[in-house]
Structure 1
Amino acid sequence: MTVNQVIEEAGFSPASRISTIGVSEILKIGARAQAMKREGKPVIILGAGEPDFDTPDHVKQAAWDAMQRGETKYTALDGSPALKAAIRDKFARENGVSYELDEITVATGAKQILFNAMMATLNPGDEVVIPMPYWTSYSDIVQICEGKPVLITCDADAGFRLKAEQLEAAITPKTRWVLLNSPSNPSGAAYGAEDYRPLLDVLLKHPHVWLLVDDMYEHIVYDGFEFVTPAQIEPRLKNRTLTVNGVSKAYAMTGWRIGYAGGPRDLIKAMAVVQSQATSCPCSISQAASVAALNGPQDFLKERTASFQRRRDLVVAGLNAIEGLDCRVPEGAFYTYSGCAGMLGKATPSGQRIETDADFCAYLLDHVHVAVVPGSAFGLSPFFRISYATSEAELREALVRIADACAKLV
């Protein structure tokens, strides 16, 4: 038997590092919903974490101008000097945190920033503390990098926020990172200075533990909430904090794929090693556009946030009007994370019993053609996430359909 015959007979076997990891549940639900749409079904998709606004015109113009100037070659490995300077100025202007250019890194989206950081720092068995609910990629990235996610339940009564006593109990000699996201995907919960302070006091007692903060939804906060980032309020932790952000959400630039971070110089160098063997530099045109986004007019951010807040209020009120659902008011981002415990144990009109939040979400998609994401995808059940980054007309129709579907459960 030839080598090729042996391989063919044995079949494909994935590497053990990904053998227990699948494609994001969000992407799978979105793909199924899109397929139903192509079949002519009137599906409303409330699963994607993507603003429905367009990229600002001045940002698109900057990309066009860069192409006309011939800026279509490789840039520096982890970000052009111009973009790093814009990021440095952004951190100083908006967050009161000072970074040198070699303390800043740019990658193909914030997800790659997270991957680079974990790959550059984790040894097999190193632990990363992650509050639940969490963005689906956090845990999977840690596992791919041979680390161990330490998942801490943060329920609705706690505002979906990690408490100091939980953090203290979770830290061991093998803890390498604590990962915090504010405002949060999926819950919309945000940490104010008073929420961060007890957590940072715990970290000050454990100098071997580093902090990664995902500030991607920084500009999307409501009701006068004051955004802060940990390196801003506790400078003593700056030398072991990686502050991650990007242009995707605030500037409606998801497809441009630019994420960035500021952190200690040695960490940034190690992350560059990982990136050099993966993607090399981010897209040159996207970088030029991001310079314009960060340096240009910012007034439209408030207008867009006001629009998101109107939609938030619409969705929260609509969900809480449905018996059996319980939706906390989020401080930021563009998601609601609603409890659906009151729906469990009920039966659909066809007699199928709703046992889990995944069952409930499948029922909404199959019977009323509304696509939402179950809390199980984010580590905390029974909940479901709605992205309200879509039109008010669609949100109103979706709420009518969800209410109708819930009323038919017995």
Structure 2
Amino acid sequence: MSAATPPVQSPTDRRVSARVGSISESATLAVDAKAKALKAAGRPVIGFGAGEPDFPTPGYIVEAAVEACRNPKYHRYTPAGGLPELKAAIAAKTLRDSGYEVEPSQVLVTNGGKQAIYEAFAAILDPGDEVIVPAPYWTTYPESIRLAGGVPVEVVADETTGYRVSVEQLEAARTERTKVVLFVSPSNPTGAVYSAADTEAIGRWAVEHGLWVLTDEIYEHLVYGDATFTSLPTAVPELRDKCVVVNGVAKTYAMTGWRVGWIIGPKDVVKAATNLQSHATSNVSNVAQVAALAAVSGNLDAVAEMRTAFDRRRRTIVRMLNEIDGVVCPTPEGAFYVYPSVKALLGKEIRGKRPADSVELAALILDEAEVAVVPGEAFGTPGYLRLSYALGDEDLEEGVSRLQKLLGEAKD
């Protein structure tokens, strides 16, 4: 055996399975954890890493959870697929907000959006099936696809198209192994929003080729200016039998820690995903489900207040970032992220260092400016940074001011 040939491991030698061992840590959560650790150690770190509203969960939702804690009914196991009253409320909310009429039997309540995404892919993918994934993408999508046995196929868009992929790009990536296309609008990490016409065009292309679509609508209420949210199965009704929608309360109602998401899809797929969940986790916490019931059954007044604040912060952060030489920051139309290009800064000297990529640049920013950002490598597109503007106005302005000062020192 040559020195270059690694020894073959037997199954008994392998301590961690290859399937799980190949999964990367969530980059966004890792950045957030490091920022919080530094803050706990006394450093004045400002974190733009986590996609988490800085607002408290609305009071009426919290009160519903408090009452649920006192009710012995919720001290016991409940159906693995979700409380019947919550599933009915999610169906009603979907019709109200998206114009998409579904039955409660088409709904599965999950432990947050991440479980919804994994279980949806697990229910429809067989080993080797390909999923077209527009990039920049949220870090969890390709890992969930791989865990489910699928193969992510990236289609890259950049700032010149507003980070939106075209039907032509999707068609170029399609092969005989393609089973699913991922569609996300508004987008994490870019804030891109597809127009109604472009959404319909992508849906009709999927129907034409018999493809499934998984569409993530978690940011449906966070759109700004003239942009509008379009639900794919509403725009293209012919797609409904091969469309899975994932959503949740985390972003709309400032409930990231409550961990309630859901899947909406054809009954056979939802039944299969429910069977999987019955063995993986059983029911979502009843207290959190009751809180989610209050959220989706209530009005959207609190959401409107948060959206107004996010819109103000969006305009501020875009303006301040574009004042930095070497930074190009498109204006996002949705969600609460900006995704500026920093390619022009790579290789330049900043405080004695020359970051070769956006990973090194993000590390330099954290060390020198005490500002936490996520490098574009985490989203499949090196040369960019993601910053969440879901933080207080003062912290936002202070954090970007630090970036202006540090990156303004860049020289050849």
Q: TM-score range by the shorter chain?
A: over 0.9
Distance between the aligned counterparts of 1:376 and 1:242, measured in 2?
27
The one-letter code matched in structure 1 to 2:146 is Q
> 4+ residue stretches of structure 1 with deviation over 6 A?
none
Distance between the aligned counterparts of 2:254 and 2:279, measured in 1?
29
Partner deviation per Cα, 1:116-163 (whole Å, 9 max, x = no partner):
111122211110110000000000111112210001101111111120
**1:211 and 2:213 matched:** yes
Pairs within 5 Å for 1:65-144: 65-70=67-72, 71-144=74-147
Q: Which moved more, 1:282-291 or 1:35-44?
A: 35-44
Does the aligned pair in 1 maintain the 2:223–2:229 contact within 8 Å? Answer: yes
Distance between the aligned counterparts of 2:363 and 2:99, measured in 1?
45
1:409: Cα distance to partner?
Answer: 2.1
The one-letter code matched in structure 2 to 1:383 is Y
Q: Which moved more, 1:316-325 or 1:219-228?
A: 219-228
The one-letter code matched in structure 2 to 1:339 is S
The one-letter code matched in structure 2 to 1:31 is A
Distance between the aligned counterparts of 1:93 and 1:236, measured in 2?
20
Q: Aligned residue pairs: how many?
A: 400
1:11: Cα distance to partner?
Answer: 6.9
Pairs within 5 Å for 1:5-404: 13-70=15-72, 71-207=74-210, 209-349=211-351, 351-404=352-405
- SS state of the match for residue 339, structure 1? coil
Distance between the aligned counterparts of 1:284 and 1:31, measured in 2?
28
What residue is the counterpart of 2:3 in the other structure?
A: none
Structure 1: gaps (5+ residues): 1-6
1:331: Cα distance to partner?
Answer: 0.6
The one-letter code matched in structure 1 to 2:317 is V
**Aligned residues with identical type, % of pairs:** 41
Partner deviation per Cα, 1:299-352 (whole Å, 9 max, x = no partner):
121111011000000000000011100000001100000000111111122x22
The one-letter code matched in structure 2 to 1:90 is K
- SS state of the match for residue 83, structure 1? helix
Partner deviation per Cα, 1:155-198 (whole Å, 9 max, x = no partner):
11111112000111212221121111111110000112112122
Q: Which moved more, 1:27-36 or 1:356-365?
A: 27-36
Distance between the aligned counterparts of 1:11 and 1:372, measured in 2?
38
The one-letter code matched in structure 1 to 2:119 is N
Distance between the aligned counterparts of 2:168 and 2:227, measured in 1?
24
- SS state of the match for residue 302, structure 2? helix
The one-letter code matched in structure 1 to 2:409 is K
The one-letter code matched in structure 2 to 1:359 is E
Distance between the aligned counterparts of 1:405 and 1:376, measured in 2?
21
What residue is the counterpart of 1:4 in the other structure?
A: none
The one-letter code matched in structure 1 to 2:40 is R
1:12: Cα distance to partner?
Answer: 5.8
Does the aligned pair in 1 maintain the 2:313–2:393 contact within 8 Å? Answer: yes
What residue is the counterpart of 2:5 in the other structure?
A: none
- SS state of the match for residue 180, structure 2? strand
What residue is the counterpart of 1:3 in the other structure?
A: none
1:105: Cα distance to partner?
Answer: 0.9
CA RMSD of aligned residues (A): 1.3
Distance between the aligned counterparts of 1:122 and 1:114, measured in 2?
12
Does the aligned pair in 1 maintain the 2:253–2:302 contact within 8 Å? Answer: no
TM-score (norm 1): 0.95
Does the aligned pair in 1 maintain the 2:120–2:263 contact within 8 Å? Answer: no
- SS state of the match for residue 225, structure 2? coil
1:267: Cα distance to partner?
Answer: 0.5
Distance between the aligned counterparts of 1:305 and 1:212, measured in 2?
25
The one-letter code matched in structure 2 to 1:174 is R
- SS state of the match for residue 315, structure 2? helix
1:201: Cα distance to partner?
Answer: 2.1
Distance between the aligned counterparts of 1:86 and 1:377, measured in 2?
35
1:67: Cα distance to partner?
Answer: 1.8
The one-letter code matched in structure 2 to 1:91 is T
- SS state of the match for residue 354, structure 2? coil
